[in-house]
Amino acid sequence: MPYALSLTHLYPDYLNLYGDTGNLIVLRRRCQWMGIDCTVNALSMGEAAQAGCTDLYFMGGGQDNDQVAVVNDFHQLKYDAIKADTEVGVVFLGVCGGYQLMGNTFLMGNGEETRGLGIINVNTRAPGTDVKQRCIGNLVAELTPATYADMQTLYAPHRDIPKTLVGFENHSGQTYLGDGVEPLATTIAGFGNNAAAEHEGARYKNVFGSYMHGSLLPKNPHFADYLIGLALRRRYPEDFVTLPVLPDTEEWAAHTYAVQRYG
């Protein structure tokens, strides 16, 4: 049977720095290549979210004042529906500022701590005296064993895919994971969630946060496929969903180069 997915881009006119809209472009294009009917909808200021109407949310980063601007709108018009969706397995990806916003509190450039969106139990706070500079540069991390093993099950037979994620980070805030939240990956090169440089990103159910720009998904096609696969498995629970293997010659070349040079 033909598959279809609906993707929702949160605040594309506010949270749109660093080219992270490219992540949504990759999801849509890979769906097209796989024969999956993919619809992308924007959900911005003044628009209410409705539970059960999308398969995947994406939220990028923005300037501090733009991040602050969306918080009240989110809690008034979107929180209940999106929180309900994510609790039952709808996929959500937040990158950098979007990742920080997903948590309980987040740090602004002026050092003030502001209420977050409350989608995932993480907190981002001001750097302490042990952090002398921004966390900026190329980032290489290895997926947790559980996520990597689950990722492999999307392909039949199992595909030989790398365990690594690559990207570029640029943040001063230090993010710490709370109870019930697992890291997305273990840091190999760069910082990741904080200056301790142990873990990158976060996962709670099918909610993912990452500091990787670059954009994240063009250089990590296996992770893009994983998000698509999770969304399909939830929408079509009666099927044993597997994904076709795309060539990805350029994508793997970019990924391998980053791992070899910076890992």
Domain spans, the chain: 4-262
- Reported as a single tens digit per residue, the pLDDT across 5-19 is 999 999 999 998 878
- Kindly tell me if the per-residue pLDDT of 186 is higher than 70: yes
pLDDT grade for 47, boundaries at 50, 70 and 90: very high
End-to-end CA distance of the chain: 41
58-67, 90-99, 176-185, range with the lowest pLDDT: 58-67
pLDDT of residue 11: 96
pLDDT confidence bin for 1, thresholds 50/70/90: low
Whether residue 111 is predicted with pLDDT greater than 90 in this model: the reply is no
Residue 131's pLDDT is what?
Answer: 60
Q: Is the pLDDT of residue 232 over 70?
A: yes
Across the range 144-166, mean pLDDT stands at 92
**How is the beta sheet containing 199-200 ordered, strand by strand?**
164-171, 135-143, 185-189, 199-200
- Range in 41-50, 124-133, 236-245 the model is least confident about: 124-133
Confidence of residue 156 (pLDDT cuts 50, 70, 90): confident
What per-residue confidence (pLDDT) applies to 158? Answer: 75
Starting at the edge strand found earlier in the chain, the sheet holding 56-59 runs 37-43, 4-10, 56-59, 91-95, 207-210, 202-204
Which architecture does CATH list for 4-262? 3-Layer(aba) Sandwich (3.40)
pLDDT at 144: 98
- pLDDT for 172 equals 84
Q: In this predicted structure, what is the pLDDT of residue 224?
A: 98
Mean pLDDT over each residue of the chain, to the nearest integer? 92
pLDDT for residue 212 is more than 80? yes
Q: How far is CA 259 from the centre of its chain?
A: 20
Whether residue 133 is predicted with pLDDT greater than 80 in this model: the reply is: no
pLDDT band, very low/low/confident/very high, at 80 (cuts 50, 70, 90): very high
Torsion angle defined by CA atoms of residues 68, 69, 73 and 74, in that order, rounded to the nearest 10 degrees: -40
Most confident range (mean pLDDT) of 82-86, 111-115, 156-160, 196-200 is 82-86
* Token pair belonging to 101: 């916003």
pLDDT of residue 49: 97
Name the pLDDT band for 152 (thresholds 50, 70, 90).
very high
Residue 130 and residue 132: Cα distance in Å, rounded?
6
Distance CA 104, CA 120 (A): 7
**Cβ atoms within 10 Å of 128's Cβ, excluding its own:** 9
- pLDDT band (50, 70, 90) for residue 129: low
Residue with tokens 């909610």: 207
pLDDT at 132 over 70: no
Mean pLDDT, rounded, for 104-109: 79
* Closest residue by Cα to residue 25 from 9, 1, 10, 37: 9
